[in-house]
Amino acid sequence: MAKTKAITKAKTKAKPKSKAGSKAKPKSAPRKKPVAAAAAGRGTDPARVRKILAGLDKSYPAATCALHHDNAFQLLVATILSAQCTDERVNKVTPDLFRKYPTPKDFAYADPSELEQDIRSTGFYRNKAKSLLGSSKRIVEEFGGEVPRSMDEMLTLPGVARKTANVVLGTAYGIASGVVVDTHVQRIAQRLDLSKNMDPKKIEQDLMAAVPKDRWILFSHQVILHGRRVCQARRPKCTECVLEKVCYSKDKTYSSS
């Protein structure tokens, strides 16, 4: 009780009394919190990000998309098929598929149940067939048979969200429209403290703010490879990780310091 009183007294004492006739000082505007910096945290310090990029370059200098394709449309098809499926499985299905349906028009007006059977082994084949038919039709009827080159246009294709659009625009056209956020990128962005968000759209925004734009395409491929080979979900291979020294994730299985 005595302590509380003393504190109250001290606070009261510290307040300057306004004198009659003296001009009242204008209230200073409340300090704004540096929102972006607070949300980003120390993980996105530019010097640290540079070390991460250098490490990724060392391990995966020529990382690229693992889905086999000869053009943007084939990559779009393969990326749609890769949802909830391994790239290896997709690469087994696409050679026959592209022989049978060589152009966007062939996909657009394919028999739905036949197409479903052709892609059945990739899983979720009914939804995937719908996306393939819908997006191919739109490409033929609205975009002159060419996969569009902007994120806004890509997002008008049925079954295409930012992840697929980023893969296609980045890999097929070299257009840096964002960062691909799949399950590996999502996990590693958090482990490397590059994002504290769980929502893929917000994670992508965080990564776009932290990583220079001219690195978005390669960075996406590198992180996906890192997730497949080293920073795996269940038991990351931290002893083999080139980023171990800059990583302070609670999921680490080894620490050199």
List the catalytic residues: 163, 182
CB of 198 to ligand SF4, least distance (A): 17
Binds ligand SF4 by CB under 6 A, chosen from 44, 194, 236, 257: 236
- Residue 107: burial class (beta carbons within 10 Å; 0-12, 13-18, 19+): buried
> What tokens appear for 129 in the block?
């067939």
**Does 244 engage in binding with ligand SF4 (CB under 6 A)?**
yes
**What interhelical angle do 162-173 and 200-210 show, nearest 10?**
40
Q: Is residue 191 part of the contact set for ligand SF4 (CB under 6 A)?
A: yes
- The residue within the footprint of ligand SF4, chosen from 65, 90, 167, 241 (CB under 6 A), is 241
Total site size for ligand SF4, rule CB under 6 A: 14
In the set 139, 181, 211, 231, which binds ligand SF4 (CB under 6 A)? Answer: 231
Question: Between residues 52 and 169, which has the closer beta carbon with respect to ligand SF4?
Answer: 52
Which one of 51, 130, 149, 252 is in contact with ligand SF4 (CB under 6 A)? 252
Residue 188 one-letter amino acid = I
Tally Cβ neighbours within 10 Å of residue 123. Answer: 14
CB of 25 to ligand SF4, least distance (A): 51
Which two three-digit tokens encode residue 40? Answer: 């980003």
Q: Torsion over CA of 202, 208, 209 and 215, rounded to 10 degrees?
A: 160
Phi and psi at residue 240, to the nearest 5° = -100, 0
- Quickly count helices (H) and strands (E) in the chain: 13, 0
**Smallest distance from ligand SF4 to CB 224, Å:** 13
Interacting residues with ligand SF4 (CB under 6 A):
191-192, 230-231, 236-238, 241, 243-244, 247, 249, 251-252
